[in-house]
Every structure is written in C-alpha cells, then in structure tokens.
Amino acid sequence: MADEEEEAELSEKQKIEIAKWFLLNSPPGEIQYVAKEIVSADVKSILNDDDLFHEAASDAFSLYNKSHLISLKMPGRSGDLLVTTFGELEVNAYLDPRTAQVAKVDHVKQVCTEVRPATDEELPSPYIEEFRCALDAEILKYVGEAYPKGVCSVYCVNGKDVEGPGSDFELVVVISAARHSPQNFCNGSWRSVWNILFKDDQQIVEVKGKMQVGAHYFEEGNVQLDAKHECKDSTLFQAPEDCALAISSIICHHETEYLASLEASYLNLPDSTFKDLRRKLPVTRTLFPWHNTLQFSLTRDISKELGIGK
C-alpha cells in the first residue's frame, strides 16, 4: 500500500506544471483572481510548498502577461507600456519605442518598477525610425477612434540597423484593448499583431495579421469566448507617410470586417449555438422560448454590448 502511495506522489515538476496550467488558462484580466482565490486555496494544497508555488507563479505570470499583451502605466506618467515579446530586451525589461524608454516589470504584481532611457543600440536606425514613427502615429490615431481603452505600439523586429534603401526590414504593430468589469460579471480583451515586411527589391509591403478576442461572462453561468482569425494583404513600398496611411487602412479594414463577422455570429446564437446546448424537450417538459431569447440575461447583455436591435 505504501508503495502505491509513493508511485502516486507527484514530482515537484508535475506540481509546478499543474499550478502553471491553472494560471495560464485564466480568462482575460483574471490571473490575479485565480492566483489569490483558487490556486492559493486548491492547487497550493497539492503543491504543499510555498517555494514551488512562487516558482510556478513567476513563470506563469510572465508568459500570461506577454501572451495577453497587457499594458502597464510607466512611472512618472510617461505613458503606457505594452508587455510583449517584441519589446523584450532582457529578463523583465521591455522597450517602449514611442518614448524610447526601457521599463522594468514585476510580472506577478503587474506593475512597472523603474524606467531608464533606451540606448542607441536598443533603438532602430534613423532610416527605420522614420517608417516606424510614421506608422505609429497613424495606428495611434486609428486605435484612439476604434477602441475606447486601446493601447498600441510599433516595433522593429528585423533590420533595425538598416541605414538606407536597398535592404528589407520588418515592423510589428501590436494592438491591445481590454474591458474588465468583474462587478458586472464580465471581462474581455482584444489582441491583434500585424507583421509588416518591407521588401525593398520588390517594392512591396506584405501585411500579415493575427487577431484574437477573449471574453468571460460569469453571471448565472460560466461562458467563455476565445476566437482567432488570421489574414494577409499587401501594398506598395512608398515614402514613410504614404506607407503608414496604406498599412493603417489595411489594418482598419480587416479588423472592422472581423468584428462585423463576430457580431453576425451573435445574431445567429438563438437559432444555432443555444439550440445545440439544450435538449429538444427539457426534463421540465416545458419548451424553451426560442422566439424570445432576449429575456435571458446572457443574450440580453450580449445584444446590449453589440448594439443589436437598437
């Protein structure tokens, strides 16, 4: 019997992976809640070791923050920092290209602890910066109009030392918007990453986008949405200002189109998804009122958020 108990005992690595799984699968904006209210009570009892718990949290928070593209206020009101792999210079240090600053991040507390000026080696060449800065200005304008709480940044991920025409380089546009309203039992986020490849020899700019929507609704139930979409487009390689306008128009078009498709899918919820979730005739022997699903809070709140039926 003792041998069976020893064989069933989890290794330290397995315990850490269990805790990390719970943390990494937290809905948008809820990892702190999961860590405090769920992991600390249930999974931590499996770990039975504070050091193992802190090791799991340290790894999980870093991965979660970067994958969810969270934004943090930098000290001194110097702006918002997007925590992304594209701006990661070293462990817990992230570049903000717009202000040319590097911020230290405490991932578990989700705060910036200090800021320093970026060095010349950490920044793009003046030639690349002209393209990056022009695109950043257009994306900032677009995000300000499209997302009430949106944050964006433009990074150079390849060819940052290019000094003039004749070589390829790559920029990445990152857009993140979150709406956290736990008092209303809902949280959600929008994340999009756009790889912009400037091909000098072909005089073409290739645009590849990845969009992701996450939402969690937990009043009178537990409903989560995790939708993803990818697309491609291209435009001509032009002057920095002209490229910026063309690229921002492409991004606006594809994001608007994707959001419209999501709205259309919600319009079909009563006739498709909801029917698949229920029996034809419930055990109460009372037919479900498909003709008036808006009386239920989930569809009512979704319709209100999307402006459907106004």
Of the candidate CATH numbers 3.10.440.10, 3.30.1140.60, 3.40.50.1980, 3.40.50.300, the domain formed by 71-120 belongs to: 3.30.1140.60
What's the CATH fold of domain 124-259?
Aspartate Aminotransferase, domain 1 (3.90.1150)
d(CA 226, CA 215): 7
d(CA 60, CA 108): 9
Predicted model pTM: 0.82
Domain boundaries, the chain: 2-67, 71-120, 124-259, 273-306
Whether the CB-CB separation of 71 and 147 falls below 8 Å is answered with no
Provide Rg for the chain, Cα atoms.
23
Q: Which two tokens stand for residue 171?
A: 């920029």
Per CATH, 71-120 and 124-259 having the same topology is answered no
Runs of H (alpha helix) within the chain: 2-8, 12-24, 31-33, 44-47, 50-67, 126-146, 240-267, 273-277, 297-306
**What is the full per-residue pLDDT of the chain (310 aa) written as tens digits?**
444 444 467 787 887 788 888 888 888 888 887 777 655 556 666 666 677 777 888 888 999 999 999 999 998 777 889 999 999 999 899 999 999 999 999 999 999 999 999 999 999 999 999 999 999 999 999 999 999 889 999 999 999 999 999 999 999 999 999 888 878 788 889 999 999 999 999 999 999 999 999 888 877 777 788 889 999 999 999 999 999 999 999 999 999 999 998 888 777 666 666 666 555 555 665 665 655 655 555 555 555 544 444 4
Residue 211: how many CB atoms within 10 A of its CB?
21
